[in-house]
Structure 1
Amino acid sequence: MEILAFGVTADEAPLLERAFAGQHEVRCLGVFLSEDTAPIAAGYEVVSSSVNADLSGRVLRTLAAGGTKMIAQRSTGFNNIDLDVAKSLGMTVSRVSYYSPYAVAEFAWTLAMAVNRRIVRASNRTRDFDFRLNGLLGRDMHGRTAGVLGTGKIGEAFTRIAHGFGMNLLGWDVAENPRCLELGMKYVDKEALLASADLVSLHVPLMDATHHIIDSAALKSMKDDAILVNSSRGGLVDTEALVAELRAGRFTGVGLDVYEAEAGVFFLDKSLEAVPDDTLARLITFPNVVVTSHQAYYTHDAVGQIIEATVRNVADYLAGHRSENTLT
Structure 2
Amino acid sequence: MKIAVFSTCQYDRDFLERFNTGHDLTFFDAPLTMQTVALTQGFTAVCIFVNDHADAPVLSQLSANGVGLIVLRCAGFNNVDLPQAAALGIKVLRVPAYSPEAVAEHAMAMILTLNRKTHKAYNRVREGNFSLEKLMGFNLHGCKVALIGTGNIGKAFYRILKGFGCVITAYDPFPDPVLQSEGLTYSSLESALSDAEIVSLHCPLTDDTHHMINAESLKLFCKGAMLINTSRGALIATADVIEALKTGQLGYLGMDVYEQEGELFFHNLSEDVIQDDLIARLISFPNVLITSHQGFFTREAMEQIATITFQNVDAFAAGGILKNQLIPQ
Question: Is the TM value for this pair above 0.5?
Answer: yes
**1:71 matched to which residue of 2?**
70
Q: Is the 8 Å Cα contact of residues 57 and 85 (structure 1) preserved in structure 2? A: yes
**Secondary structure of the corresponding residue to residue 93 of structure 1:** strand
**Secondary structure of the corresponding residue to residue 194 of structure 2:** helix
**1:61 matched to which residue of 2?**
60
Task: State the alpha-carbon separation in 1 of the partners of residues 83 and 172 from structure 2.
Answer: 28
Task: State the alpha-carbon separation in 2 of the partners of residues 11 and 259 from structure 1.
Answer: 22
Give the CA deviation at 1:148: 0.4
**1:8 matched to which residue of 2?**
8
CA RMSD of aligned residues (A): 1.5
CA offset digits 1:181-222 (Å, max 9, x no partner): 233322222222212321111111110011111111111111
**2:220 matched to which residue of 1?**
221
Compute the TM-score of the two structures, normalised by the length of structure 1: 0.95
Q: Is the 8 Å Cα contact of residues 47 and 68 (structure 1) preserved in structure 2? A: yes
The worse-fitting range, judged by mean Cα deviation, of 271-280 and 58-67 is: 58-67
**1:320 matched to which residue of 2?**
319
**Secondary structure of the corresponding residue to residue 18 of structure 1:** helix
Residue 135 of structure 1 aligns with an amino acid whose one-letter code is K
- Whether 1:117 aligns to 2:116 is yes
CA offset digits 1:269-294 (Å, max 9, x no partner): 22222222111110111100101111
Q: Is the 8 Å Cα contact of residues 224 and 251 (structure 1) preserved in structure 2? A: yes
User: Closer, same or farther in 2 for the Cα pair 1:219/1:61, shift >3 Å?
Assistant: same
**Secondary structure of the corresponding residue to residue 11 of structure 1:** helix
**Secondary structure of the corresponding residue to residue 258 of structure 1:** coil
Q: Is the 8 Å Cα contact of residues 44 and 66 (structure 1) preserved in structure 2? A: yes
| Pairs within 5 Å for 1:178-189 | 178-189=177-188
Task: State the alpha-carbon separation in 2 of the partners of residues 36 and 233 from structure 1.
Answer: 24
Residue 212 of structure 1 aligns with an amino acid whose one-letter code is H
**1:38 matched to which residue of 2?**
37
Give the CA deviation at 1:158: 0.8
Identity across the alignment (%): 39
**Secondary structure of the corresponding residue to residue 47 of structure 1:** strand
Give the CA deviation at 1:249: 2.4
**Secondary structure of the corresponding residue to residue 309 of structure 2:** helix
Task: State the alpha-carbon separation in 2 of the partners of residues 127 and 40 from structure 1.
Answer: 48
Q: Tell me, which stretches of 5 or more residues in structure 1 are unaligned?
A: none
Residue 14 of structure 2 aligns with an amino acid whose one-letter code is P
Q: Tell me, which stretches of 5 or more residues in structure 2 are unaligned?
A: none
**2:20 matched to which residue of 1?**
20
Residue 289 of structure 2 aligns with an amino acid whose one-letter code is V
**1:103 matched to which residue of 2?**
102
Task: State the alpha-carbon separation in 1 of the partners of residues 287 and 249 from structure 2.
Answer: 10
Compute the TM-score of the two structures, normalised by the length of structure 2: 0.95
**Secondary structure of the corresponding residue to residue 147 of structure 1:** strand
**2:289 matched to which residue of 1?**
290
Residue 6 of structure 2 aligns with an amino acid whose one-letter code is F
The worse-fitting range, judged by mean Cα deviation, of 44-53 and 27-36 is: 27-36
The worse-fitting range, judged by mean Cα deviation, of 173-182 and 305-314 is: 173-182
**2:91 matched to which residue of 1?**
92
Q: Is the 8 Å Cα contact of residues 115 and 252 (structure 1) preserved in structure 2? A: no
Task: State the alpha-carbon separation in 2 of the partners of residues 179 and 198 from structure 1.
Answer: 25
Give the CA deviation at 1:307: 1.1
Give the CA deviation at 1:66: 2.2
How many residue pairs get aligned? The number is 327
Task: State the alpha-carbon separation in 2 of the partners of residues 171 and 47 from structure 1.
Answer: 37
